[in-house]
Amino acid sequence: MASSSEAGPAALLKAVLERVHHSADRSGRDVNNIRVVAASKTKSVSSLRQVYDAGHRCFGENYVQEIIEKAPQLPEDIEWHFIGNLQSNKVKPLLAGVPNLAYVETVDDEKIANLLERAVAKIGRKPLKVFVEVNTSGETSKFGVEPAVCVDLAKHIVTNCPNLEFCGLMTIGMPDYSSTPENFKTLSNCRSEVCAALGISEAQCELSMGMTGDFERAIEMGSTTVRIGTAIFGRREYPPKEDK
Ligand SMILES: *Cc1c(COP(=O)(O)O)cnc(C)c1O
């Protein structure tokens, strides 16, 4: 019998979806309210294709150069999520290169929101769904707004960016998972503030949190979007390239 390290992405996906199911059951949540983004950075188009052929439609990429190379080689019904740090000069190529881009999960200042707004308006595509990225771990190296200003940014998007659809909040948390429960709690508290300020229900403000090492915990804590790479595709062999 093949060991799990030899299992291909389709089998690994199945195991991940089972774990998501169990976590949802354990926490009394409807599994249909939990989206799994297959985080595919550095992985080949053929690996993504195997996951697609296993029935999965939701993929996340971190680098503009990489997503604009891969997306045209894969079916159009993929729901692409951009989950990396987005630089100003990459907004136009991203939107032009990925017509089926559904979400940008990493909006972390008004400037990038305004650039996305203008680019979407100019292309004339359907509204782009966005999450506000929150730095919940307090690390200076992390992208994302401070929790205290997430309300301001969410308000800015709702008020001034008609071509963007504010969908919720996203966080990465501590990379070694040492304090992700606290980080997830912080994101959940941010949601309460945003919902109160915007007069929306919690169901209208998603939480994107949880990766390979902590997605079960994230689901218990209310995550609606888990972004899972390693558990589906195996370890990343090459260090990801930065967008230049
Ligand atoms: C790479 C990445 C993930 C997936 O990480 P794994 O630990 O491999 O599951 C999730 N979110 C973001 C923002 C990432 O860059």
- HEC profile of the chain: CCCHHHCCHHHHHHHHHHHHHHHHHHCCCCHHHCEEEEECCCCCHHHHHHHHHCCCCEEEECCHHHHHHHHHHCCCCCEEEECCCCCHHHHHHHHHHCCCEEEEEEECCHHHHHHHHHHHHHHCCCCEEEEEEECCCCCCCCCCECHHHHHHHHHHHHHHCCCEEEEEEECCCCCCCCCHHHHHHHHHHHHHHHHHHHCCCHHHCEEECCCCCCHHHHHHCCCCEEEECHHHHCCCCCCCCCCC
**What is each CA distance from 188 to 54, 63, 90, 157, in whole angstroms?**
32, 27, 30, 19
Res 218 pLDDT > 90: yes
Percent of the chain at pLDDT exceeding 90: 88
Mean pLDDT confidence for 173-188? 88
More confident call, 244 vs 19: 19
Which of ligand 1's atoms lies nearest the C-alpha of 228? 9
Q: Is 180 in the pocket of ligand 1 (CB under 6 A)?
A: no
Cβ contact 220:27 at 8 Å: yes
Res 50 pLDDT > 70: yes
Position 171, amino acid: T
Q: Is 129 in the pocket of ligand 1 (CB under 6 A)?
A: no
Position 145, amino acid: V
- pLDDT interval class at 243 (50, 70, 90): confident
Q: Is 62 in the pocket of ligand 1 (CB under 6 A)?
A: yes
Q: What is residue 226's predicted lDDT score, i.e. its pLDDT?
A: 98
Q: Give nearest CA residue, ligand 1 atom 4.
A: 229
Res 90 pLDDT > 80: yes
Position 65, amino acid: Q
Res 1 pLDDT > 50: no
Least confident of 93-102, 169-178, 186-195, 209-218: 169-178
Q: What are the structural domains, with CATH classification, of the chain? A: 9-233 (3.20.20.10)
Residue 41 CA to ligand 1 center (angstroms) comes to 8
Residue 210 CA to ligand 1 center (angstroms) comes to 9
Q: Give nearest CA residue, ligand 1 atom 12.
A: 83
Q: Is 43 in the pocket of ligand 1 (CB under 6 A)?
A: no
42 backbone dihedrals φ, ψ, rounded to 5°: 70, -5
Ligand 1 pocket, mutate which of 227, 236, 237 (most atoms under 8 A from CB) = 227
Cβ contact 202:166 at 8 Å: no
Q: Is 173 in the pocket of ligand 1 (CB under 6 A)?
A: no
What digits encode the pLDDT tens for the residues 112-169?
999 999 999 999 999 999 999 999 998 866 689 999 999 999 999 999 999 999 999 9
